Amino acid sequence: MFYNEGLVFDLARNPHYKKYYQFVDVNKIDGYVSLRYNKLRKTLLKKDINYVEGLLVPLKLTLKGKRLKIVSDGCGLF
């Protein structure tokens, strides 16, 4: 939701959002992990960046030496 919709990570510090993940923590929804600010901003973002970079490797190899660059607004990556 945060990455796909371009939401700022500060939203995870909002008191209403905090109530949501506190509810999730208390009610133990199987398989669900609540997303806190640092996990969104650091751990998961880095994981997703590495995933996208891996997808781009074959394309980058074909562009090597052609003086072309890959540019994206981030739309549709996740």
* Domain chopping of the chain, boundaries: 2-63
Q: How far apart are CA 76 and CA 5, in angstroms?
A: 10
pTM value is 0.56
Q: How far is CA 56 from CA 5, 27, 53, 64, 69, in A?
A: 22, 39, 5, 12, 11
Query: Which residue's entry shows tokens 């995933």?
Result: 51
Q: Each residue of 15-41: pLDDT tens digit?
A: 998 898 888 888 887 887 777 888 888
Pull the structure tokens for residue 48. 């997703």
